């Protein structure tokens, strides 16, 4: 099957709910959630789209373009000032630390941050679990004017997405309670609402080399951007991509 045809067919199966329905505790979304996250058929994608999230579009337009300026800072500054080895690169800048197949992945750069708090957890938790409770490492906006508003924009978009997912968790709780005997009502919602282990990831994909030059084949590599993987955490919120000119931003 042609990839474009496959993507079109998959998009037709994406379940869409409105933010207003999500924010209403009296609206029953169990049917939509079952179609999105259930396992009864091959058509369950494990994905749900939320339409009409207040402030989301403007926040995305403010923050995502800043990825270009960050990714093109002096590599020495990125490695020495924004990289956190102790957290296993779960805070600040990371490039070439993950593997794509058997090789270090330099095709993308990642910037990890916590939109809820700069210092999550207690002193003991940060010491014991540095990957789960890393402190934020923000770039110097005064010295890098192309990143003006970076911290504020990162927090804004991250909190909007976290709040929407928290509302979604409340409806997942309702569905789970109706299907699982003894399920503790509101458990996922409370976990999402009170956690300080929220993690944002700003990704920048650098231009890829021609696969035919790299592999000697005209066929593109399936995992040329990112391989199959499992995300950590309960739920992953995606903002959608934005394309920029790598040379001009």
Task: Find the farthest-apart pair of alpha carbons in the chain and give their distance in angstroms, rounded.
Answer: 58
Please report which confidence band the pLDDT of residue 212 belongs to, taking 50, 70 and 90 as the band edges: very low
| pLDDT digit string, tens, across residues 138-159 | 999 999 999 999 999 999 999 9
Listed in sequence order, the DSSP H helices in the chain are 3-12, 19-23, 30-37, 56-63, 66-71, 75-81, 123-128, 150-179, 187-194, 211-215
Q: Which residues pair with 202 in a beta bridge?
A: 111
| pLDDT digit string, tens, across residues 99-122 | 877 888 898 999 999 999 999 999
Give CA–CA dist 59/171, Å, rounded.
25
Phi-psi region of 55 (alpha: psi -120 to 50; beta: other; left: phi over 0): left
Q: Which tokens sit at 106?
A: 């330099």
Question: What average pLDDT does the segment 227-241 reach?
Answer: 85
Strands of the 200-205 sheet, one edge to the other? 92-94, 108-113, 200-205
Residue 45 has pLDDT above 90, yes or no: no
């Amino acid at each position: 099957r042609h990839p474009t045809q496959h993507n079109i067919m998959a998009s037709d199966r994406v379940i869409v709910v409105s933010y207003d329905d999500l924010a209403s505790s009296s609206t029953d979304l169990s049917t939509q959630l079952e179609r999105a996250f259930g396992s009864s058929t091959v058509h369950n994608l494990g994905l749900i789209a939320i339409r009409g999230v207040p402030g989301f579009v403007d926040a995305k337009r403010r923050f995502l373009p800043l990825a270009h300026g960050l990714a093109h800072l002096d590599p020495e500054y990125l490695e020495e000032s924004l990289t956190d080895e102790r957290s296993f690169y779960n805070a600040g800048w990371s490039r070439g630390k993950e593997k794509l197949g058997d090789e270090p992945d330099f095709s993308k750069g990642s910037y990890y941050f916590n939109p809820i708090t700069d210092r999550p957890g207690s002193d003991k938790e940060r010491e014991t679990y540095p990957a789960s409770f890393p402190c934020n490492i923000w770039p110097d906006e005064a010295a890098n004017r192309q990143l003006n508003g970076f911290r504020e924009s990162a927090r804004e978009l991250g909190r909007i997405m976290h709040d929407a997912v928290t509302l979604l968790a409340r409806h997942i709780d309702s569905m789970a309670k109706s299907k699982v005997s003894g399920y503790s009502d509101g458990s996922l919602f409370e976990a999402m609402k009170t956690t300080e282990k929220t993690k944002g990831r700003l990704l920048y994909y650098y231009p890829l080399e021609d696969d035919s030059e790299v592999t000697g084949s005209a066929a593109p590599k399936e995992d040329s951007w990112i391989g199959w993987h499992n995300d950590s955490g309960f739920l992953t919120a995606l903002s959608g991509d934005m394309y920029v000119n790598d040379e001009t931003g």
